[in-house]
Chain A
Amino acid sequence: MKEVSRHFEVKAGMVAKYFKGQPNRQIKAVESVNFSLEKNEVLGIAGESGCGKSTCCMMIAGLLQPSSGEIIYNDKGISQLNAEESHWYRSQVQMIFQDPYESLNPRFSVFDTVAEGPRALKLYPETEIADRTEEMLKSVGLSLEKYADRYPHELSGGERQRVGIASALVMEPSMVIADEPLSMLDVSIRAGILDLLKELATQRNFSCIYVSHDLSILGHIADRLMIMYLGQAMEIGPTWDVIENPKHPYTRALINAVPIPDPRVQRPIPNIKGDISRPIDPPPGCRFQKRCPHADQSCTENFITLQATSDNQHQAACHRLDSIQ
């Protein structure tokens, strides 16, 4: 087990996920997405609704099977795991959900909610579960005396999200998938949860995939950032490289659209046409072609995956990368 946690890597290799909708129609929720997650890294995934970011999360968590391609965890494809291994994989990969008001069981006390995971997978004997639960609650800032016997309706949104984090981390995962964990919380308490996640990630050595539509928040937590549009990965790179020097026309538009909390600053107008199209039966070629100010024939003919740019860390999926810089 030690070997494993040290040698940690997740590769979503050529994952192409097709949802079957009506006969002969396909919603291509995620198409040929490649990325890797290094140990102790926070990877941010950003994009508008329908871009496939949540589908990616669910596939990695094993809640959905990819239609093609492979998700590789520590050199082993997760679809090839035997029963025992996939049991273990499920304890290694934990999710923190978006809505702390709906993701907690209203009939479970805080203590039982957090202890549920280790109990279900019989990770430790009951006395040890109690100790670990107590310690976990303490490290998310909830004291045992005050909170252990409370039920979700007695908690504020921030406290609920702390319970959600505790019940994910009590499993001692090596990878945490956080799907918009702050979007239901008020501004004044978001920073506290964000700090908590960062702090625990360092303390407990887990990697994190942090999904959000809010680029300002991702700028503060993610080491690397991936931008998705209609199932296609458009750009990936070190977070502030992507924000300050975006390569893909979509990333540029997206970043220019983020409002800035300073009345003295004027944003440039995002250079983008039309509205988001539907992911049902998309035309061949780049998913962004219709809205792209730079699209030419090559963009309508061939689909494109992430390509290395001058900087190897920073990749973008664009046919016209060289001509639009």
Chain B
Amino acid sequence: MSRKRVLGVKNLNVRYKTQKGPVHAVNDVTFDVFENEVFGIAGESGCGKSTLIRALMRLLPDSADVFANEIKLGEQDLRSLSDKHFREDVLWSKMSLVPQSAMNSLNPVYRVGDQIIEAIQAHTSDNKKTARNRAAELFDVVGLQPDLMDNYPHEYSGGMRQRAMIAMSLALDPGLIIMDEPTTGLDVLVQERILRRIREIRKEISSTIILITHDIAVISEMSDRIGVMYGGSLMEQAPAIDLFESPCHPYTLGLKNAFPSIRSKGQELISIPGSPPTLIGEGTGCPFAERCPFKVERCSKEFPTVEKLAEFHEVRCFRHDETPELRELASKKGTWLSLK
């Protein structure tokens, strides 16, 4: 299976300078995104998923250092681009972002339609009329009435604003759209409709999406492949079905136990004791070691390397070849409680 790679990231690191010392927010993250797929990145708060995205979009503050061996969008290495070139040639036209809290990302004193028209005109030679027609088209695509273009953001509901942001991200037909928690904070029926619309958009205009969320249910419904982040590292990545049927990393196993489903009556929920690491200072060992019921001596001393289990299934764990036994143990509540 050879698919066209849209984005390739190799060994991406982000360090924040703080008074308490450097925060290793993203550690050695490597992943590829292929054409026409949804790559989901799941993780809890503070796991570095938003930092990762901001690093790709160059939205980090000056206190952050980013270094990577490769960040390739198509054939172009983004690292060599100046900020100005990145803004003019890549942002919006090749890669766009639907930011977290998209609800508050619209300018309150401009009409919503004008904000999209402005984005289009800034990047193309379209005149106002063509740009307006394009914006109306986009409104239609995301399921908003085009006559709402002349309204202001405060006249929109949360779901409508989110759709407007998605419309804006589609404006210049980018090859890659990054959505950071696109439905967090929305009511479940509104969320359902937006997710369905994103799926339809994918069918209509084929596009590649990176979807970031903490919601395991949303990510498993939407994604073709999923990466699981913890403590700044990508712990496991696999096709969605493989990750669901044969998870390998102890953290993935724990997450699966902890997430309730409306379809499983009588399901026993098991939480992972402890809390995520602070990531301050030079971390040694696996970031999950402290909460892992299967840790061995090595885990707190060395940072595990990425092991390839199948073509698209990679895991960062020393005990990856003992998976069947660990999976069995992880389904028992006692295994996790013993950590307390």
Contacts and interface: CB of A to CB of B under 8 A. Distances in A.
Given A259-B191, A264-B241, 18 more contacts: A186-B214, A188-B44, A188-B272, A189-B271, A189-B272, A192-B273, A195-B271, A216-B262, A244-B265, A256-B192, A259-B220, A260-B220, A260-B262, A261-B259, A262-B261, A262-B263, A263-B221, A276-B189
B188 A258 contact: yes
B313 to A, nearest CB: 14
B267 interface: yes
Contacts of B191: 257, 259
A276 B263 contact: no
Interface in B274-326: 275-276
A324 interface: no
28 contacts: A48-B187, A141-B340, A187-B259, A188-B272, A190-B271, A191-B258, A195-B271, A215-B262, A216-B259, A216-B261, A217-B260, A219-B262, A220-B267, A220-B269, A257-B191, A258-B262, A259-B191, A259-B192, A259-B215, A263-B220, A263-B223, A263-B241, A264-B241, A270-B189, A275-B157, A275-B159, A276-B157, A276-B189
B73 interface: no
A262 B264 CA distance: 11
A318 interface: no
Contact of B221 (A186, A193, A243, A259): A259
Interface string B8-44: 0000000000000000000000000000000000001
Given A48-B189, A263-B223, A219 B44 contact: no
A215 B223 CA distance: 22
Contact of A187 (B44, B188, B192, B275): B44
B254 A188 contact: yes
A243 to B, nearest CB: 6
A192 B82 CA distance: 47
The size class of the interface chain B forms with chain A is: 35 or more
Interface centre among B195, B256, B261 (most CB of A within 10 A): B261
Contacts of A270: 189, 192
A72 interface: no
A219 B187 contact: no
Contacts of B192: 256-257, 259, 270
Interface string A33-52: 00000000000000011000
B66 interface: no
Contacts of B215: 259
Contacts of A156: 275
Interface residues of A, number: 45
A257 B263 contact: no
A213 interface: yes
Interface centre among A159, A259, A276 (most CB of B within 10 A): A259
Nearest to A257: B192
Closest 10 CB pairs of A and B: A192-B271, A191-B271, A191-B269, A257-B192, A259-B217, A48-B187, A186-B44, A263-B240, A188-B272, A216-B260
A125 B273 CA distance: 35
Contact of B261 (A186, A261, A272): A261
A302 to B, nearest CB: 25
A36 B192 CA distance: 32
Contacts of B263: 260, 262, 265
A261 B217 contact: yes
A45 to B, nearest CB: 15
Interface string A271-291: 010011000000000000000
